[in-house]
Structure 1
C-alpha cells in the first residue's frame, strides 16, 4: 500500500521546534486561560488544544506555574512595547504624546477579548498578581510617571487651576483599566472603537483647551483668564 506524499508531511504543530514550540505553547496557554481561568487550567488542557502530549510541553516548561508566568511575560512585553512604540511615533507636544498613549491602550493587536480575558484571569488570582507586581511592577510605575509628567506639562500650559497632575494621571489610568473590563462584560459589552472614543472624550473633558474628542487642538493654547 502506497502512502500519499501529503500523509508524510507533519502538521505545522508537530513540526514546531525549540523557540517556535515554546511560543506555540504559550499562545495556546492564553487561549485556555481565557476560556477556563487561572485555577482550572491544566497542562493537559493545553496539550489537547495543540494535539500534542503533556510530556512534550513539560520538556519546555517544568511546571504549570512556570508556563503561566511565561504567558504573563508575553502579555506584559506586548503591552509595554506597544505603548513605547506609540510614544516614539507621536508628535513632540505633551498633548500629542498623551493622545498617542491613550490610543495605544486600545490598539487592535493587544486589546482583544482573548488577551483581556487572560489578563483578567491573572488579576483575579492572588498568586498571579503577586508574580506580576514582582516582575513587572517597575513598568507600571514607569508608565504612571510618564502620564503624570505629561499631565503636569498640560496643566501648566493650559492654566488648569486646581488640577493635581498625579490625581489626573491616576484618573486616566483607572478609566483605561475600567474600559478594558467593559470589553468583556457579559451584560453590555463595548467594542474597541467605543472604548477608544470614550477614552478620547474623557481627555477632552479633562483638558478642554488641549483636546476635542477627535484629537489634540492645534495652534496656541488658550489659557483661562
Structure 2
C-alpha cells in the first residue's frame, strides 16, 4: 500500500509543479524593469558671481538653474563647481579633475572677471580658458562660454582685448557664447550689493533668465 502511494505521489507532484510553472510563467516572462537613466549634468565653473557671494547657496542663479532644470528638463541636474575669487588659472588647474569626476554633458565656463580686475595678462587668460574648453570637449561635453566686460579705467586696449578673448575662443572651439553675464543688470545700481561688484539676491533670477537663453539649446 505504501509503495503504491509513493508511486502515485511522484507523478502527482510533477503535475502540480508543472501547473504552478505554467501559472507563474507570465511573471517570469516579463522583462526586468529598465533602470532609470543616469541624470545628465551641467557643470558650472565660475567665480563669486556664480558661487552666490553674499547670499545663501540656494539663492544664487546656479541653484535657481537647478530648480528650473527639475521643472523643465527632467533628467538634468546642475553641479556648481564655482569658487569665489577664482581666476582662469585656478579653473584651468581644476578642470580635468572636475570633468573626470562628474562626466558632464554641458560645461558652463564663467571665468575671467578676477583676471581682469587684477589686470592679469590677456594671453594667459586666453590659454587658461582654451585649456578648460579643450578638456571639456575631450570628455564629450558641449561648452557655453560666458564672458565678462571690464571698466574703461584699465585702458582701451585691455578692455577690448578682454572681450575679444571670449569671441575668438568661441569661434576657434565652436562653442556657444554668452558675451556678458551681467548684461541684464549692468546699468542698475540697485541690482548690486554694497561692494558694487556682486549682484543682489533679487538680481539672480534675471541672471538665470539671461544664461538660460544660451544654455537651453544645449540641453538636447
Larger helix fraction of residues: 1
- TM interval, shorter chain, is under 0.3
Larger Rg: 2
Larger strand fraction of residues: 2
Query: Normalized against structure 1, the TM-score is what?
Result: 0.26
